[in-house]
Amino acid sequence: MSARRFDAIVVGAGQAGPSLAGRLHDAGMRVAIVERHLVGGTCVNTGCKPTKTLVASAYAAHLARRAADYGVAIDGTIGIDMPAVTRRVQKVAIDSRHGNEQWLAGMTNLTLIREHARFVGPDTMRVGGEEISAPRIFLNVGGRASIPDFPGVDEIDYLTNSSILHLQEVPEHLIVVGGSYIGLEFAQSYARLGAKVTVIEKGPRIVAREDEDVSAAILDILSREGIAFRLNAECIRFAKHDQGIAAGVNCTNGDPQVIGSHVLIAVGRRPNTDDLGLDAAGVKTDERGYIRVSDRLETNVPGIWAMGDCNGRGAFTHTAYNDFEIVAENMLDGADRKATDRVPCYGLFVDPPLGRCGMGEAEAIAKGHAIKVGKRAMTRVGRAVEKGEALGFMKIVVDADTDKILGGAILGPGGDEAIHSILDMMALGQTADRLRRTVHIHPTVAELIPTIAGELKPKE
């Protein structure tokens, strides 16, 4: 069988693939983009967009219940129309997906192939009943929920980040396994929509990649909203129960178990590289299946690149998109961009949100930095107080020897936005003293960032 020839093949229409396909197309190439499921990938269909839409509905419910705090009288009870919440969540995802599809359809020299792609050689892939080949292949295959082999897991109907977004009813008692980014966003959303929620986390604290003060503050905020936490939950196991599902949380002490109506498993992601035929192309992965890439995102096989979650260099939409920029500019504009150039950054969209950039205190110390830290509680941030949302804190971590900013964390109203004022200074390699001398708008949460940059204290 002779393969249909293209100038470039992009596998996966997630967060890097379509943008790259667009640039290659505009550069005059004949491009195939292969997508086996939904255009837009995880972020658009089952990740960022629908979850942040759900978070917004949950916030509205929360604020409505707090109306009296603001002197607003609501006559009657606050009800949740879950089918309407889900319709809204799905509409935002579907509109975005359709937008992406229309954009791709508008490219005359681009072919969207709705099939699973698998290598049969270093420049050839099987897609459905045909083979296609190109001198350049770009992998943007993303990842999926990892479902460990918990005892009993096959006997229950569990939810993932994908299926939970279609619920038509508020769960009576949602058990969330995994106390990290995915688990906590859903836990708070469903609690605010009226579910009883228990988070089961095997580690001693939630969001363990964060500094301890961040984990503790988020635990406090979520606990105050009535979410129950079972930490140090070793040997998680499941069984059917008269009232739904029983989750065993501690094998050593026998019985302790949580009985819930629904279980969401959110214990991490795994890359979609196991069914890509990478061996046929000779592309190497690490022991967890992430495709090994150089800083320029080239695999070990010339002519094959890997972008986004599947290369293990980032796990976010903005890192996937930045991967596209790196590959496109290096190839088409003669640039020399690298994944190592970017300052790590992300949000955790519980309410109030956490904005993060660079290193935390623990990481900075572990990497050998002597550090200074500036920190301020949201109770001392005017805008947070005025909004009636004075929860959390902000902090900045600075190298004590060079005064260079190493990282920041803002947990509080607008923390996901305000963090960019620290992030941009870091991207420009600036010092805390330079940040201290900037003037920020009053009254904002970001207004106090120069102030904390001027109140740094040495930290052991």
Ligand X SMILES: Cc1cc2nc3c(=O)[nH]c(=O)nc-3n(C[C@H](O)[C@H](O)[C@H](O)COP(=O)(O)OP(=O)(O)OC[C@H]3O[C@@H](n4cnc5c(N)ncnc54)[C@H](O)[C@@H]3O)c2cc1C
**Residue 360 region, left (φ>0) first, then alpha (ψ -120 to 50), else beta?**
beta
As measured in angstroms, the least distance from the Cβ of 267 to ligand NAD is: 4
The amino acid present at 339, given as its one-letter code, is A
132/398 with CB nearer ligand X: 132
133/311 with CB nearer ligand NAD: 311
Q: Which stretch binds ligand NAD (CB under 6 A): 80-88, 117-125, 253-261, 347-355?
A: 347-355
Q: How far apart are CA 88 and CA 342, in angstroms?
A: 34
Strands 354-358 and 345-348 come out as antiparallel
Of 155, 350, 140, 164, the closest CA to residue 266 belongs to: 164
As measured in angstroms, the least distance from the Cβ of 291 to ligand X is: 11
How far is CA 76 from each of CA 58, 61, 67, 154, 367, rounded to the nearest angstrom?
A: 18, 13, 12, 43, 55
| Residue 43 interface partner, choices ligand X, ligand NAD, none, CB cut-off 5-8 Å depending on type | ligand X
Q: Which residues bind ligand X (CB under 6 A)?
A: 11-16, 34-38, 41-43, 47-48, 51-52, 116-117, 140-143, 161, 182, 272, 276, 308-309, 315-318, 320, 349
Positive or negative, the CA dihedral 429, 432, 435, 437 is negative
Q: How far apart are CA 253 and CA 258, in angstroms?
A: 14
194/268 with CB nearer ligand NAD: 268
- Take residue 34 and report the two structure tokens written for it: 């292969």
315 counts as binding ligand NAD under rule CB under 6 A: yes
Beta bridge partners of 414: none
Q: How far apart are CA 78 and CA 234, in angstroms?
A: 38
4/434 with CB nearer ligand X: 4
51/421 with CB nearer ligand X: 51
16 counts as binding ligand NAD under rule CB under 6 A: no
139 counts as binding ligand NAD under rule CB under 6 A: no
As measured in angstroms, the least distance from the Cβ of 333 to ligand NAD is: 28
Catalytic hit among 37, 262, 420, 442: 442
180 counts as binding ligand NAD under rule CB under 6 A: yes
The amino acid present at 47, given as its one-letter code, is G
Phi, psi of 416 (to 5 degrees): -70, -25
33 counts as binding ligand NAD under rule CB under 6 A: no
201 counts as binding ligand NAD under rule CB under 6 A: yes
297/398 with CB nearer ligand NAD: 297
Member of 183, 408, 412, 413 binding ligand NAD (CB under 6 A): 183
Is 442 catalytic? The answer is yes
38/432 with CB nearer ligand X: 38
As measured in angstroms, the least distance from the Cβ of 87 to ligand NAD is: 22
316 counts as binding ligand NAD under rule CB under 6 A: yes
Q: Which stretch binds ligand NAD (CB under 6 A): 3-11, 95-103, 179-187, 333-341?
A: 179-187
| Residue 208 interface partner, choices ligand X, ligand NAD, none, CB cut-off 5-8 Å depending on type | ligand NAD
Catalytic residue list: 442
Q: What does the binding site for ligand NAD look like in residue numbers (CB under 6 A)?
A: 148, 177-183, 185, 200-203, 208, 236, 266-269, 315-316, 346-349
